[in-house]
Amino acid sequence: MDRVRNDPRQTGTGGPTKDHRRLKVELLIVLGLSLGQSAVYAVVSLMDKLSRAPLADQTTSMNNSLSERPYFDLTYQLLDIVFALVPVALVFFLFAHAGANGFRRMGFDLRRPWADLGWGVALFVGIGLGTLAMYAVGRSLGVTTAIVPAALEPYWWTVPVLALSAVRHGVVEEVIVVGYLFDRLRRLGWGVWPILLASALLRGSYHLYQGFGPFVGNVLMGLVFGWLYLRYKRVMPLVIAHALLDTAGFVGYSLLGPAIGLGT
């Protein structure tokens, strides 16, 4: 992983190597097609909200209906999920093009199913409780919008689609923000702590549309997930935990939220 820094093509003045320049461009493209783009939109959305009214008086809805016609809504939802996974496919293609097995390198495989599941469930419980606490604190301080995790109409396909959406979020975020980003920044010569902090801040930034509470909560989550990835070199437990968190939030709200007043 350190061979890029010792590349003989590096100039005598310490300028970037050709590989460094290529990696930087690649990184910008991948992030621009995925979560970097989301971060930019989230910042603009936050600015828009702040210019309208206090965050405490506003609501952020997720998983919204995309059509008034049920089967077209289903079609749009599935297309949204599929196309969101294209940057993940690009990441694994880039690894393969460089002669590496991206699945194995970042631990996104089934070599340790029970250990991954155990860690995933443990993280789900710990991070889930922390997320609820952070949301409550953010709402009490007025720095977090009311969040409606699922605004889909109650069709027969609503719960399966919400579960698929949760898995999509887990795969996209953990593969790109942890597995891919850590590998590329390490190859660019970044140290452990700058990589960990950059990944956590990116994770927090694309949640800013929900307010400052979710930003802080996701930065903390990113630090925990990043530390575990550095220690165990496996992204699969993180994907499992993330998918479980979002499934609980999306499906739980869809089934119970309006009845018990969640999101207020």
For position 200, what pLDDT does the model report? 98
Q: Please tell me the pTM assigned to this model.
A: 0.90
Taking the C-alpha atoms of residue 240 and residue 146, their distance in angstroms, rounded to an integer, is 26
Confirm whether 2 is domain-assigned. no
The CB density around residue 76, as the number of other CB atoms within 10 Å, is 14
**Residue 112 lies inside a defined structural domain of this protein:** yes
Distance, in Å, from the CA atom of 22 to the CA atom of 73, rounded to the nearest integer, reads: 40
Is 10 domain-assigned?
no
Q: Write down the pLDDT at residue 255.
A: 87
Domain interval for residue 156: 25-260
3-state SS class at 60: strand
CA distance 63 to 247: 12
Nearest one of 113, 106, 85 to 225, comparing CA atoms: 106
Which among 263, 51, 37 is positioned nearest to 150, based on CA atoms?
263
Establish if 60 belongs to a structural domain: yes
How many separate domains does the chain show?
Answer: 1
What contacts 146, CB < 8 A, 6 or more positions away? 58, 59, 60, 139, 263, 264
State whether the Cα torsion 11-13-14-17 is positive or negative: negative
The answer to whether residue 6 is domain-embedded is no
Rounded alpha-carbon distances, angstroms, from residue 248 to 37, 132, 233: 26, 12, 26
Q: Is residue 20 part of a domain?
A: no
Q: Are 26 and 94 in contact (CB under 8 A)?
A: yes
Query: Would you state the pLDDT for residue 173?
Result: 98
Any domain includes 17: no
Per-residue pLDDT of the chain (264 residues; tens, 9 = 90+): 444 444 433 444 445 688 899 999 999 999 999 999 999 999 999 999 999 999 999 999 999 999 999 999 999 999 999 999 999 999 999 999 999 999 999 999 999 999 999 999 999 999 999 999 999 999 999 999 999 999 999 999 999 999 999 999 999 999 999 999 999 999 999 999 999 999 999 999 999 999 999 999 999 999 999 999 999 999 999 999 999 999 999 999 988 876 545 544
User: What DSSP character marks residue 63?
Assistant: S
**Does residue 15 lie in a domain region?**
no
pLDDT for residue 5: 43
Specify the pLDDT at position 12.
42
Backbone phi, psi, residue 59, to 5°? -125, 140
